[in-house]
């Protein structure tokens, strides 16, 4: 009897262990396909909406993501009308300065090392003083290694450099052509002012005030056959970023868009031919559409991350409301792509050549 009782006890123990193992296995399986979520009864199937799936995937992907480099488009207003613009002037909203600083501090506390201010045209609001105060705050208070700006250059005055230049590491000026007529066709112009003359003037100011000078160019149907090598080599920027014209639904494509950029779009082959023609320019850094969509962390004027993966800009909640960790789950950010394009590199004044 004692022997039979012992065997029965062992059998019950084995059955219990087997049952526990099966429960764990089933729980693991059903969690992957969206069953058995918290709050559901045993064996109840819950449908997973596309939004829920996107959030779950975002949380998993960005659980360990650090917002090392952030692009803050704090204004949508611009004085140019570039036909391919994919961050158009749908609103005139700009955060109060204190709120913008609070958001930048949250980003710094989450690991931000590089901030890039853009628009719209960032020098347009408050004649550049709002931008200058943000630049000062990021360098002097947050002590960020790298602070940069992307601008069309039309609103920049030398007195801005005199007041804020010590705290700026990089200034990138957008220039799509070295032919004034082409710039007029694209919309990168204001009246009869020479965009190219202004570019050269800003380049000299950057040298004088020890700010690294960059050039950004969007390659499209109007400039794809242009040879820019001689002009780029003469200006000698630290980098020449060359972008492929990108369509974003609701911005420069689609019924609700303020721009119709379809006529500016070029093929991947045409983009590659342009790059091959400029292979002798050592500072050239190409940015394809794939890299543009996935490898940038973009904040809009409300400090919401913008997810561009689906060919449109889907906003997160503002980091001012939910924090950086929660908002970044909606960013669509691909850290592997970011690292692949050299995203960990942070440029600062300390890296600049001594002769500057």
Active site residues: 78, 82, 85
Rounded Cα–Cα distance for residues 40 and 29 (Å) = 16
Containing 316, the helix (H) or strand (E) segment is: strand 314-318
Cβ partners under 8 Å of residue 48, min gap 6: 34, 56
Element counts in the chain: helices (H) and strands (E): 13, 10
CA 351 to chain centre: 23
Distance CA 11, CA 2 (A): 14
The answer to whether 105 and 133 have CB atoms below 8 angstroms apart is: no
Asked if 212 and 236 touch (Cβ cutoff 8 Å), the reply is: no
Rg of the chain (C-alpha set): 26
Residues written for the chain:
356
Distance CA 333, CA 307 (A): 7
Looking at the DSSP bridge assignments, the partners of residue 284 are: 240
Give the integer Cα–Cα distance in Å for 238 and 211.
Answer: 10
Closest CA to 150 of 198, 228, 217: 217
Per the structure block, which two tokens stand in for 149? 């700006």
* Residue the block writes with tokens 């960790």: 325
| Coil vs helix vs strand at 20 | helix
Strands 304-307 and 284-287: unpaired
């Amino acid at each position: 009897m004692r022997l039979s009782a012992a065997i029965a006890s062992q059998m019950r123990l084995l059955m219990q262990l087997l049952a526990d193992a099966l429960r764990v296995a089933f729980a693991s399986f059903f969690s992957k396909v969206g069953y058995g979520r918290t709050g559901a009864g045993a064996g109840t199937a819950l449908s997973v909406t596309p939004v829920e799936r996107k959030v779950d995937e975002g949380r998993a992907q960005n659980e360990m993501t650090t917002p090392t480099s952030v692009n803050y488009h704090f204004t949508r207003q611009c004085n140019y009308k570039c036909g391919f613009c994919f961050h158009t002037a749908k609103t005139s909203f700009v955060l109060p300065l204190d709120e913008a600083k609070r958001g930048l501090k949250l980003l710094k506390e989450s690991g931000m090392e590089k901030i890039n201010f853009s628009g719209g045209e960032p020098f347009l609001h408050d004649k550049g003083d709002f931008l200058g105060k943000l630049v000062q705050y990021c360098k002097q208070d947050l002590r960020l290694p790298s602070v940069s700006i992307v601008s069309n250059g039309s609103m920049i005055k030398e007195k801005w450099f005199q007041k804020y230049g010590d705290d700026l590491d990089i200034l990138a000026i957008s220039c799509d052509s070295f032919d004034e007529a082409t710039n007029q066709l694209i919309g990168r112009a204001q009246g009869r002012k020479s965009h190219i003359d202004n570019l050269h003037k800003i380049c000299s100011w950057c040298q004088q005030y020890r700010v690294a000078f960059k050039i950004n160019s969007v390659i499209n149907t109007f400039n794809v056959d242009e040879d820019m090598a001689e002009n780029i080599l003469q200006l000698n920027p630290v980098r020449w970023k060359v972008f492929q014209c990108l369509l974003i639904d609701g911005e420069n494509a689609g019924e609700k868009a303020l721009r119709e950029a379809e006529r500016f779009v070029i093929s991947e082959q045409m983009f590659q031919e342009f790059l091959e023609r400029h292979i002798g320019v050592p500072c050239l850094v190409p940015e394809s559409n794939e890299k543009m969509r996935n490898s940038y962390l973009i904040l809009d004027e409300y400090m919401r991350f913008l997810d561009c993966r689906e060919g449109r800009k889907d906003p997160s909640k503002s980091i001012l409301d939910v924090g950086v960790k929660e908002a970044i789950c909606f960013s669509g950010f691909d850290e592997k792509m970011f690292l692949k394009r050299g995203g960990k590199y942070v440029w600062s004044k300390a890296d600049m050549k001594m002769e500057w």
